[in-house]
Amino acid sequence: MELYTQIKKWAQCAPDRVAISSNGNELTYRELETYSNALAAFICEKMSGNDAPIIVYGHMEPLMLVCFLAAVKSGRAYIPVDTSIPEERVKKIMDDSGAALFLTPGSVPETLKNYNHVLMLEDKEIKEAIASYEGQQPPTDQFVIGEQNFYIIYTSGSTGNPKGVQISYNNLASFVEWMVSDFGLKEQQRFLNQAPFSFDLSVMDVYPCLYLGGTLWTISKELIANPKWLFESLQASRIHVWTSTPSFAEMCLMDECFSAEMLPFLETFLFCGEMLPNETARKLKQRFPNAVVYNTYGPTEATVAVTSVEITEEILSEYPALPVGVAKKDVGIFIVDENGKEVEDGEKGEIIITGKSVSKGYWRNEELTNKAFFRYNNQPAYKTGDVGYKKNGWLFCAGRLDFQIKLNGYRMEIEEIEAQLRKLSLVESAVVVPVYKENKCQYLTAVLVPKKHTFEKEYQLTAYLKKELQQLLPAYMIPKKFVYVSSLPMTNNGKADRKKIANEVGV
Query: Same domain for 341 and 315?
Result: no
- Taking only Cα atoms into account, the Rg of the chain, rounded to an integer number of angstroms, comes to 23
What's residue 156's pLDDT? 81
According to the annotation, is 345 in a ligand binding site?
no
pLDDT at position 496:
78
Is 108 assigned a ligand-binding role in the annotation? no
What residue numbers bound the domain in which 375 lies? 330-400
CATH of the domain at 305: 3.40.50.980
Backbone phi, psi, residue 57, to 5°: -110, 120
In CATH, what number is assigned to the domain containing residue 343?
A: 2.30.38.10
**Is position 109 annotated in a ligand binding site?**
no
Report pLDDT for 120. 98
Verify that 269 and 342 share a domain, yes or no. no
Same domain, 94 and 190: no
Residues ≥6 apart with Cβ < 8 Å to 456: none
Q: Quick one: 468 and 496 in the same domain?
A: yes
208 lies in the same domain as 112: no
Pick the last residue of a domain from 348, 372, 400. Answer: 400
Q: Is residue 176 part of a domain?
A: no
Are 56 and 188 members of one domain? no
pLDDT at residue 402, as a whole number:
77
382 labelled ligand-binding: no
Residue 172 placed within a domain: no
Angle at 155 (CA atoms; ends 153, 157), nearest 5 degrees: 140
For residue 295, say whether it is annotated as part of any ligand binding site: yes
Q: What is the pLDDT of residue 495?
A: 63
**pLDDT mean by block of 10 residues, the chain; 507 residues:** 94 99 97 99 96 98 99 99 94 97 97 94 98 95 98 85 97 99 98 96 98 98 93 98 92 94 99 90 98 98 99 97 97 96 96 99 98 97 96 92 84 85 90 88 94 94 96 94 89 69 84
Write down which residue in 367, 382, 400 finishes a domain: 400
On whether 155 is known to bind a ligand per the annotation, the reply is yes
Q: Specify the amino acid at residue 88.
A: E
Residue 325 forms part of a structural domain: no
Q: Please indicate, yes or no, if residue 199 is contained in any of the structural domains.
A: yes
Handedness of CA 278, 279, 282, 288 (dihedral sign): negative
176 labeled part of a ligand binding site: no
One domain for residues 373 and 416: no
Q: Is 200 annotated as a binding residue?
A: yes
- Asked if residue 156 belongs to a known ligand binding site, the reply is yes
pLDDT for 404: 77
Are residue 247 and residue 357 in the same domain, yes or no?
Answer: no
pLDDT in the model for residue 494? 52
Domain-located, residue 304: yes
Judgement on whether residues 43 and 149 belong to the same structural domain of the protein: yes
Whether 187 maps to a domain, the answer reads yes
For residue 8, is it within any domain?
A: no
Assign residue 495 the CATH number of its domain: 3.30.300.30
393 labeled binding residue: no
356 shares its domain with 277: no
Residue 422 belongs to some domain of the structure: yes
Domain edge (last residue) among 320, 344, 368: 320
The pLDDT of residue 151? 99
* Count: domains in the chain: 4
The pLDDT value recorded for residue 405 is 86
Clarify whether residues 436 and 344 are in a common domain: no
3-state SS string over 236-297? HHCCCEEEECHHHHHHHHCCCCCCCCCCCCCCEEEECCCCCCHHHHHHHHHHCCCCEEEEEE
Q: Exposed, middle or buried: residue 303 (CB in 10 Å: 0-12, 13-18, 19+)?
A: buried
53 and 84 belong to one structural domain:
yes
